[in-house]
């Protein structure tokens, strides 16, 4: 009899806990995700539940700490530098839902870095023409100058003309080379490097070989609450000073 009572009590307690979790998840989904960063209760709840989801689904590429992998071009999610969007919870949520260059009609796929060292840099766009190694070198000197680094002045001037002219780099990265987060074109003037260490050799590989990284879409794998919780966790690891998991 005593054992039966214990089982019943355990069941009731478990049911109450699940009910409370369900209620909190509904609150989480009903609210504006970016406004929720100021709600300490929902913040703790979302980050606590988002961390294990991140470890299962995202850490295989981004690493357990979210620091990414510059050899493979996997973004660092802890530095506050965002390739797609402005780093808001809603932006992160959209990436988790639909992915980057993935097999989903809503995936983020507007920016494709052509392989300028190939005979057909971008088979989908016949207007993009290959560049000779020397031209790629000139572009690199221009980018180094834009970053405030030591560069060959004559080569940088030639590279500037290429950038804003025949190479068409400005079309994605903007005339000032600061990129466009609306399409996922990186800022080329800062010290943040998605691929490699920012050296001339690494930049040459990116321009010559092209870059077209892929992030899976998780909308068919994670629940709506799970996606928002994961987005909250990613937001938290890039806002450690002003946003604490508590």
> How many whole angstroms from its chain centre is CA 53?
17
Distant-in-sequence contacts of 130-137, Cβ < 8 A, 24+ apart: 131/162, 131/167, 131/207, 133/208, 135/162, 135/167, 136/204, 136/207, 136/208, 137/200, 137/204
Instruction: Judge whether residue 16 has pLDDT over 90.
Output: no
* pLDDT bucket at 2, cuts 50 / 70 / 90: low
How far apart, in Å, are the Cα atoms of 190 and each of 45, 95, 239?
35, 23, 20
Q: Tell me what the mean pLDDT of segment 214-243 comes to.
A: 92
Predicted confidence at residue 145, as pLDDT, reads 98
Q: What is the mean pLDDT of residues 17-32?
A: 75
Give dist(CA 43, CA 228) in Å, integer: 11
The CA distance from 59 to 233, in Å, is 12
Please list, in sequence order, all residues whose beta carbon lies within 8 angstroms of the beta carbon of residue 94, skipping any fewer than 6 positions away.
85, 108
* 14 has a pLDDT exceeding 60: no
Is 70 exceeded by the pLDDT of residue 15?
no
Residue 9 scores a pLDDT above 50: no
pLDDT for the residue 38: 84
Largest CA distance in the chain: 91
pLDDT at 10 over 80: no
The string of pLDDT tens digits covering residues 53-112 is 999 999 999 999 999 999 999 999 999 899 999 999 999 999 999 999 999 999 999 889
Q: Are 57 and 45 in contact (CB under 8 A)?
A: no
Q: Helices 133-146 and 200-209: crossing angle, nearest 10°?
A: 120
- Render pLDDT for 117-144 as a digit per residue (tens, 0 to 9): 999 999 888 889 999 999 999 999 999 9
Q: Above 80 in pLDDT, residue 17?
A: no
Share of the chain above pLDDT 70, in %: 89
Domains, the chain, ranges and CATH? 2-108+220-237 (1.10.760.10), 133-209 (1.10.760.10)
Report pLDDT digits (tens) over 139-183.
999 999 999 999 999 999 999 999 999 999 999 999 999 999 999
CA 180 from chain centre, in angstroms, equals 13
- Confidence (pLDDT) at 209: 97
> What are the DSSP calls for 174-243, one per residue?
-TTS--BTTTTBPPSSSS--SSTTS-HHHHHHHHHH-B---B---TTTS-HHHHHHHHHHHHHHT-TTT-
pLDDT of res. 4: 58
Residues facing residue 180 across a β-bridge: 185
Rg (CA), the chain: 23
């Amino acid at each position: 009899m005593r054992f039966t009572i214990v089982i019943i009590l355990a069941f009731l307690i478990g049911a109450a806990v699940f009910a409370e979790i369900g209620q909190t998840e509904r609150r989480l989904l009903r609210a504006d995700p970016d406004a929720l960063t100021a709600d300490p209760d929902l913040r703790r709840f979302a980050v606590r539940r988002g961390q294990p989801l991140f470890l299962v689904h995202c850490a295989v590429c981004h690493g357990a700490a979210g620091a990414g992998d510059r050899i493979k071009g996997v973004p660092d999610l802890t530095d506050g530098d965002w390739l797609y969007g402005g780093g808001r919870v809603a932006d992160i949520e959209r990436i988790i839902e639909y992915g980057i260059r993935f097999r989903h009609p809503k995936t983020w796929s507007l920016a494709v870095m052509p392989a300028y060292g190939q005979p057909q840099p971008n088979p989908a766009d016949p207007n993009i023409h290959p560049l000779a190694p020397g031209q790629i070198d000139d572009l690199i000197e221009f980018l180094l100058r834009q970053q405030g680094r030591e560069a060959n002045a004559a080569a940088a001037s030639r590279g500037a003309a290429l950038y804003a002219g025949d190479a068409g780099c400005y079309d994605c990265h903007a005339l000032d080379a600061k990129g466009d987060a609306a399409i996922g074109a990186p800022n080329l003037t800062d010290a943040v490097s998605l691929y490699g260490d920012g050296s001339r050799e690494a930049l040459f590989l990116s321009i010559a070989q092209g870059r077209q990284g892929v992030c899976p879409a998780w909308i068919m794998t994670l629940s709506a609450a799970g996606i928002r919780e994961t987005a909250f966790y990613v937001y938290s690891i890039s806002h450690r000073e002003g946003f604490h998991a508590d």
